[in-house]
Amino acid sequence: MGLPVLILGYSGSGKSASMRNFKAEEMALVNVNGKPLPFRTQFKSVLNSDNYAEISQFLKTQTAKVIVIDDTQYLMANEFMRRAKETGFQKFTDIGKNFWELIKLTETLPADTIIYFMNHLETGEDGRQKSKTIGKLLDEKITVEGMFTTVLKTVVNDGKYLFATQTDGSDTCKSPIGLFETMYIPNDLKAVDEALRIYYGMKQQETCADCGKAILPACGRTAEQIAGGTLKNYGRKLCWSCMARLIKEAKTNAAQTVSDGTGAEGQ
């Protein structure tokens, strides 16, 4: 059973940009409205389509364990526009059902597959920010957030692009307890993906050679990057705080060497 994750955000708030740290073969992309990405990576497996049958087929045949559908709101909006002339409520039922079935399809995928549904935000009737649909008639049929255990929201604060991991009371953000340490994290979907994989036991966790604790993502770096970087620089895999301690110690030693007047031998 794969895992569906919902990423909400206004246009230009860093949803698409959050994919930037995935390597070209690491992630498959369904580009619903075929819009250009705001970074250089060209993903190897891309489908430009708003057709549910094509998208379902694509999802079932990917080797990448990470799939992003960007932007799912257009799946609903485009179908709604195509059927604009139809009268009656049937189209709303169909639009809701098609979208629901796509999310449910995640359950039939391998257990280590994570599908990220990127969707626009809107302010609902109760004043809360929620996943944008095509209006009240659809909202009566389906509560999109109810189908996800993790709902993140893009936030731009002081020029920084972030994800909110829990609700501030005025939105529908949520995530399992202990998945993220802080309310806000950098808008790095690769780091989110890694955290989810560790949390749900989809991935072997690396431990720190010095303190024995798990190496977790920190300061915008993935656990993989931290483990790899410390292995290269210190000859062993270290957690972020042990690495920070070593850097601090090295600085103190260097400062002492200078004040001792012993010159530059202290390397």
Enter the tokens of residue 161.
């692009």
Rounded to whole angstroms, how far apart are CA atoms 20 and 23?
A: 8
Enter the tokens of residue 53.
């049958």
Rounded to whole angstroms, how far apart are CA atoms 71 and 119?
A: 5
C-beta closer to Zn ion: residue 1 or 211: 211
**DSSP letter string over 109-154?**
S-TT-EEEEEE-EEE-TTS-EEE--S-HHHHTT--GGGG-S-EEEE
C-beta closer to Zn ion: residue 98 or 207: 207
Identify which range of 136-144, 160-168, 201-209, 256-264 contacts Zn ion by CB under 5 A. Answer: 201-209
C-beta closer to Zn ion: residue 103 or 223: 223
The neighbour count for residue 177, using CB atoms within 10 Å, is: 7
C-beta closer to Zn ion: residue 70 or 206: 206
Identify which range of 127-135, 147-155, 200-208, 228-236 contacts Zn ion by CB under 5 A. Answer: 200-208
Identify which range of 56-64, 131-139, 174-182, 203-211 contacts Zn ion by CB under 5 A. Answer: 203-211
Q: What is the dihedral of CA 48, 52, 57, 58, to 10 degrees?
A: 30
C-beta closer to Zn ion: residue 26 or 210: 210
Enter the tokens of residue 134.
């095509």
Tell me the closest approach of the beta carbon of residue 196 to Zn ion, in angstroms. Answer: 22
Which position among 6, 208, 216, 227 is part of the footprint of Zn ion (CB under 5 A)?
Answer: 208
Which position among 1, 24, 211, 247 is part of the footprint of Zn ion (CB under 5 A)?
Answer: 211
The neighbour count for residue 8, using CB atoms within 10 Å, is: 28
Tell me the closest approach of the beta carbon of residue 206 to Zn ion, in angstroms. Answer: 11
C-beta closer to Zn ion: residue 7 or 208: 208
Identify which range of 127-135, 166-174, 235-243, 253-261 contacts Zn ion by CB under 5 A. Answer: 235-243
Q: Does 242 bind Zn ion (CB under 5 A)?
A: yes
Measured over the CA atoms of residue 258, residue 259, residue 265 and residue 266, the dihedral's sign is: negative
One-letter amino acid of 105:
L
Tell me the closest approach of the beta carbon of residue 238 to Zn ion, in angstroms. Answer: 6
Interacting residues toward Zn ion by CB under 5 A: 208, 210-211, 239, 242
